[in-house]
Amino acid sequence: MLQRLLAASFFLCMSASAAEHDRFSYAEPAKVTQTALSLDLKVDFDKRELAGSAELALAWHDPEARELVLDTRDLTIEGIEALDAQGAAHALKWSLAARDPVLGSALRIALDAQAPKVRIRYHTAPQASGLQWMTPAQTAGKKQPFMYSQSQSIHARSWVPLQDTPAVRFPYSAHVTGPKALRVVMSANNDAKHPLDGDFSFRMEQPIPSYLLAIAVGDLAVRETGPRSAVYAEPSVVAKAAYEFADTEKMIETTEKLYGPYRWERYDILVLPPSFPFGGMENPRLTFATPTVLVGDRSLVSLVAHELAHSWSGNLVTNASWRHMWLNEGFTSYVENRIVEAVYGKVQADEEFIIAADELLREVKSTPAPTQRLVPDLDDADDAASDFAYVKGAWLLRTLEARFGREAFDAYLRSYFEHFAFRSITTEQMLDWLKPNLLDKYPGKMSLDEVKAWIYQGGVPADAPLPTSPQLQAIAEARSQWLEGKRTAIKLDAKRWNTQEWMYFLDGLPDKLSAQQLATLDAAWHLNGSPNAEIARRWYLAAARSDFRPARTQMAKYMTRIGRRYLVVPIYEELAKTPDGLRFAREVYAKAKPGYHPMTQVSIEKALAGK
């Protein structure tokens, strides 16, 4: 029954308006669809590999099809067999194509007759792009190794052979063995009281796309934060994380009131080592989060609001291919801001959006117009995660809210999540639902052509609504006075500024400042070595642009300690613009590289190569 339901859901996703080849997958889901996954894996830290088997349940749509094509990257395939309805197995012939640098290798499996299941025995490579293996020295506790996955966008194929496209959804189960005394967790039903006996089993009942497959293994403690939420983290970090994320249940309840029930039972958070390349990853039931938001004042917990919002936009309603990523990230960024407003107040929500919008408008000036579209052409799936997908997408939804009113737009958005629940869709499907259910329902407020201009053209329309903030306006005035020499740094009255206000102040600094200006600013407000990663990022960018070398010692420590791409890659990019800065950046990278995730390494190496 489950396979039939999933197959029916797949054909809804692949309706005429949605039919679109995912160029980042070799799979042919129009012929055969993966409808379930069962993993049996062993974690080997010495070999830095996962080894075992993946069993795929299949729904065949083309009666003539006799080949199953799967996505892989750097996997060693040991054998493949078909399983009949009684579970009897027989070996299959298969071939692994040459490796493409972006897509990996197509695994082509030949069948004499269509089978309900296939089982693939394999092991991963130590350099698997979706896994990071960490030595004890690279963790907070310094005693045990750590491993975690990052499957988005197309890195699941580096640790599981499967149809690695967001157009295909499936439930999964897993049996994982690993070292005793370490905890294994997955994007599934984690048991906080499970004995650390090296033998773990998991089930994810709801159908998910491959990029939401996730696993982590390490010395992990657990702290409850609510009736359906907990924090997993290394023992020395877990109390701090539980304090920072204490409002998680309040956020869940807030979002349910706005957009309907939470469909995933639990919402737990795993705080990873600092090398994690993203701020967060919305793996269902277990968000992966960066420790860089643990600043002690809950000023950066909008990250949790963002990842929680993905439980509706992204995990529940998913982009069918990566060129439509704004359907995940734009909708999520909008919902995130609504959560922040409800839990922390309109002042903080407005400040956060203004900061994001200002950064986007600066990026517009240096980004080719085709890349500014919400549905861009992509050379690499990882390039989909741009400020345009996040901020411009959210800005479009804010525009719809402003035109139609919050009450009407909230009702529409709730119906959207309900209608497309557990489906993967395209922008065109979204528009097909938007027109009769919002635009035509309230005529004369915004036309379909206006919406399409937001989506398919570059830039941001001049009439895009932007909130005002008296506090940020006052900070802008103080910044101007300081730059003009009319106010000293110590007289900026910044003692009461929150994180967002410091971000705004630093974002608005000119590219070139004198050494004296930066020195006096640091002397007054102790920005060098700031424990707040967002403030420190902006300070080190200002120092790099102005070649302020007294900041370099702390800058190097920051760049070595943190692997989150958003925080460190822009600093490398700025340093690489001058010969001496490039030399310094290469020295830092040589020391920091072993602690970076493979995705971070790729981004930094592009920056150092001038790409």
Q: What is the pLDDT of residues 510-546, one digit of tens each?
A: 999 999 999 999 999 999 999 999 999 999 999 999 9
Amino acid 14: pLDDT: 47
Report which secondary-structure segment, H or E, holds 346: helix 346-364
Asked if 390 is an active-site residue, the reply is yes
Express each pLDDT in 458-489 by its tens digit: 999 999 999 999 999 999 999 999 999 999 99
In one-letter notation, the amino acid at residue 403 is R
State the number of CA atoms in the 13 A half-sphere of 430 facing the CB: 25
What CATH code is assigned to 317-456? 1.10.390.10
Amino acid 7: pLDDT: 47
Residue 14's contacts (CB-CB under 8 Å, 6 or more residues apart) are 29, 30, 167
Distance CA 181, CA 407 (A): 51
Amino acid 16: pLDDT: 34
Amino acid 8: pLDDT: 47
- Domain positions in the chain are 2-219, 317-456, 470-608
Instruction: Enter the pTM of the model.
Output: 0.94
What CATH code is assigned to 2-219? 2.60.40.1730
Distance CA 95, CA 105 (A): 10
Per annotation, catalytic residue among 390, 412, 416, 596: 390
Closest alpha carbon to 186 in 285, 106, 71: 285
Per annotation, catalytic residue among 49, 244, 307, 329: 307
With a cut of 70, list the residues of the chain below it in pLDDT: 1-19
Asked if 307 is an active-site residue, the reply is yes
**CATH of the domain spanning 470-608, picked from 1.25.40.320, 1.10.3720.10, 3.40.50.300, 3.30.70.3270:** 1.25.40.320
Express each pLDDT in 56-94 by its tens digit: 999 999 999 999 999 999 999 999 999 999 989 999 999
**Contact yes or no for 187/281 (Cβ under 8 A):** no
> Does residue 547 come out as left (phi exceeding 0), alpha (psi in the -120 to 50 range) or beta?
left
Amino acid 19: pLDDT: 55
Amino acid 275: pLDDT: 87
Residue 25's contacts (CB-CB under 8 Å, 6 or more residues apart) are 71, 103, 154, 163, 164, 165, 167
